[in-house]
Structure 1
Amino acid sequence: MVLKGGNMPGYSSLMVLVPEQKTAFFMSYNNDSMMSLDVYDAFMDHYFPRTITVKKPTYHQLEEKEAQKYVGLYQNTRVFAIRTHFSYENGALVMEDETAGK
């Protein structure tokens, strides 16, 4: 399955390709909501219901030495004013920015 979404202020879109089922859909709308995720879930549940139970992901403690290669300040390549800081706390990487918080 291939998904590609795009968002900018006042506009959102989502393209979904399911090659094995010869199926695709595209949606585009003019608001800032994430309703594409709800539409995607409803579409997939209706046409391709899950036949297996998917396990929730498990998270493993990360050693500080391993985490250091990810720690730092990252700049969004589309909206240059958005910067995200990654730090290490108690065995985990912590992401923090001005819009989503910590």
Structure 2
Amino acid sequence: MVIRKPGEFYRYDNLGFTFQGYAIEQVTGKPFGTYVQDHIFKPLGMENSYLRLTPEITKELAVPYNQIGEAIPTYATVPTEYPGGGMLSTGSDMANFMMAHLVDGKLGNATILKKETAAEMHKPQLAIHEKLPNMAYGFEYASQQHYNGQYMIEKSGDMAGYHSNMWLIPNEKVGVFVTTNKDFEFRTPLLEAFMNHYYPSKGGSQAPLERSKHSLADFEGTYSDLRNRMWTSHIRSEDGKLIVKDRLENMYFMK
């Protein structure tokens, strides 16, 4: 049963990628991990990348820590091979993966994607506005305020004690990958510092747009995320401003 027409709504859903992994198994007749090893990891020379967290690999993992620096147990995934976020890799292996994406799906003599497929994956597939892209196929546009006008796609991953992020700037053939073993968020400040150093903003500050009370009223209403109903905001216009109130009673004023 189709609940929402494809292309009209968006919901970030790890389960959807797990279904895609299951579809790959049904079409190829191979376990998902085996297919990825044969068609991505091996061609790209990613010799330390896996989809199954075995006891041998667990011994090689960095010890995970919580926010106050206490060691915590290594996470477990169900199912064991988890297409929705269970990949294990290293910085050097991810460098090969990024280079393949930045060179039309190729690395040396190996090709994992057609040129047209790579371009389609890097292109926005959904946007609430043409200047605010949301998702590509497998990639996001989550921290646009730190892009400094560059066209960039990214993907993050989080498990208890482990956090990673990959950024690609296709037009510059540049990629950045960072991974940590502590529940401490520094990925966004790192991106901001990197972009300000290597790709500083060229534009000046813009004056706020003057909008009539009537046009601001068009934005009034309740906005809810399809994945998590806690991410619900109520918006109203008042005195030439938009007032946004979230479920935690935080209030924001937007001119």
- TM-score past 0.5 threshold: yes
Q: Distance in 2 between matches of 1:67 and 1:98?
A: 22
1:75 alignment partner AA = S
Contact 2:230 2:247 in 1 (8 A): no
The residue type paired with residue 154 of structure 2 is K
Q: CA deviation at 1:58?
A: 2.1
What SS does structure 2 have at the residue aligned with 1:37?
helix
Structure with the bigger percentage of strand: 1
- In structure 1, the partner of 2:153 is 3
Q: Quick one: which of 45, 60, 69 aligns to 2:196?
A: 45
Partner of 1:23: 174
- Stretches (4+) displaced over 4 A: 5-13
Rounded to whole Å, the distance in 1 between the matches of 2:187 and 2:249 is 19
> Which of these residues, 221, 236, 241, is aligned with residue 92 of structure 1?
241
Higher CA-based Rg: 2
Q: What is the match of residue 64 of structure 1?
A: 213
Q: Which amino acid aligns with 2:246?
A: D
Unaligned runs of at least 5 residues, structure 1: none
Secondary structure of residue in 2 paired with 1:24? strand
Name the amino acid aligned to 2:177.
Answer: F
TM-score, normalised with respect to structure 2: 0.33
- Alignment RMSD: 3.0
Give the length in aligned residue pairs.
99
Q: Shift of residue 5 of structure 1? A: 5.2
When normalised by structure 1's length, the TM-score is 0.70
How far has the Cα of 1:23 moved from its partner? 0.6
In 2, the alpha carbon distance for the partners of 1:7 and 1:96 equals 28
Distance 2:163 2:205 in 1: 28
**Among the aligned pairs, what percent are the same residue?**
19
Asked if the contact 1:73–1:84 (Cα under 8 Å) also holds between the matched residues in 2, the reply is: yes
SS of 2:242's partner is: strand
Structure 1 residues 41 and 100 mapped into 2: Cα distance closer, same or farther (>3 Å)? farther
Q: Give a deviation string over 1:39-98, Cα, whole Å, max 9, x none.
A: 10222234x14374x322321232122122210011122212221011101112121113
- Looking at structure 2, the residues matched to 23 and 100 of structure 1 have their Cα atoms a distance apart, in angstroms, of 40
